[in-house]
Amino acid sequence: MSNAHMLPHYPEGTVRTLLTTDLVTEATRQALTDRLNAPLREPTFFSADDFALLDAVCNRLIPQDEQEKRIPVAEGIDERLSKNTTNGWRYDSMPNDGDAFKLGLKGINESALVIFQQPFLNLSGDQQDQILKAVQVMEAPGEVWQNLPADRFFEELLAEAVENYYSHPVAQEEIGYVGMADTPGWKRLGLNQLEDREPRMATD
């Protein structure tokens, strides 16, 4: 048993099991099953190089190195930008989402070259984190950040990565969320009142 399993965690497979029961509505089952079984997607918005960089950045923002099933975070961003859809608003100080992502990725690489004389992809995890931290607090060097507000870019990228990750049934299992299993309604609402189908945290 690996070290990770000594930490408190929720049991695996809870959501996947619930999806096979009538505790979820057909509409919910379909939405989550489609997401769970989505085939891996080749990038259509980003170039192969940009996508590899975005993927590496996303993996620092939400590490999933040890995960058996990889949740497609960067793929989700590529898919949205390919469809040219938005979440309804953007900071006026930012260019449109597609341009912001392309510029921001360029900026991350530029900062890596200035600080470590290496492209971002060649850096160690810790070094990559240093670059990202610098971007987040607006201390990253490079020309791109003269024009693109680094903190806004970082915030938008992080929020979208997080939304893609935690929308996935496997990530929801990780945090013990089973709100999708709602067809019988919830009767035990109060503090420390759990229904049978709600997973308990364990340290085994």
Partner 1 sequence: MPYKTSEIVDAVVIGTGAGGAPLLARLAQAGLKVVALEAGKQWNPAHDFPTDEKAQAKLFWNDERLSAGNDPIPFGSNNSGTGVGGSTLHYTAYTPRAQPDDLRIRTEFGVGEDWPFSFDQLEPYYDEVEQFLGVSGPSPYPWGPARKQAYALGPLPVNGAGQLMERGCKEVGIKTSPAANAALSAGYYQEGVGHRPACANRGFCQAGCNIGAKASMDVTYIPLAVHYGAEIRPECFVTQLVKSPAGILSEVVYMRNGQEERQRCRFVFLCAGTIETARLLLLNDLANSSGQVGRNVMAHPGLQIWGEFDEDIRPYKGIPGALISEDMHRPADADFVGGYLLQSIGVMPVTYVSQMARGRGLWGQDLKRAALAYNHVAGINILGDCLPYDHNYLELSDEKDIRGLPKPRIYFSNGESEERMTAHANKVMRAIWGAAGARNIWAFPRNAHVIGTCRMGNDASTAVVNANGQSFDIPNLYISDNSTFPSALSVNPALTIMALALRTADRFLEQWK
- The single residue among 2, 88, 146, 147 that binds partner 1, judged by CB under 8 A, is 88
Nearest to 59 by CA among 149, 6, 132: 132
Residues 97-126 that bind partner 1 (CB under 8 A): none
- The single residue among 132, 140, 148, 170 that binds partner 1, judged by CB under 8 A, is 132
Residues 145-184 that bind partner 1 (CB under 8 A): 155, 158-159, 162-163, 166-167, 172, 174-177, 179-180, 182, 184
22 lies in the binding site for partner 1 (CB under 8 A): no
Quote the least distance from Cβ 184 to partner 1, whole Å. 8
- Interacting residues of 159 by C-beta distance below 8 A, sequence separation 6+: none
Quote the least distance from Cβ 198 to partner 1, whole Å. 6
Quote the least distance from Cβ 115 to partner 1, whole Å. 18
| C-alpha distance from residue 185 to each of 27, 31, 177, 197 (Å) | 16, 19, 15, 12
Distance CA 191, CA 135 (A): 40
Quote the least distance from Cβ 140 to partner 1, whole Å. 15
Residues 41-70 that bind partner 1 (CB under 8 A): 60-63
Distance CA 38, CA 69 (A): 12
- Interacting residues of 109 by C-beta distance below 8 A, sequence separation 6+: 53, 119, 120
Query: 110 near 144, Cβ under 8 Å?
Result: yes
203 lies in the binding site for partner 1 (CB under 8 A): no
Nearest to 66 by CA among 197, 170, 198: 170
Query: 40 near 20, Cβ under 8 Å?
Result: no
- Report the residue number, 79 or 119, with the smaller CB distance to partner 1: 79
Residues that bind partner 1 (CB under 8 A): 8-9, 24-28, 30-32, 35, 60-63, 85-93, 96, 129, 132, 136, 155, 158-159, 162-163, 166-167, 172, 174-177, 179-180, 182, 184-194, 198, 201
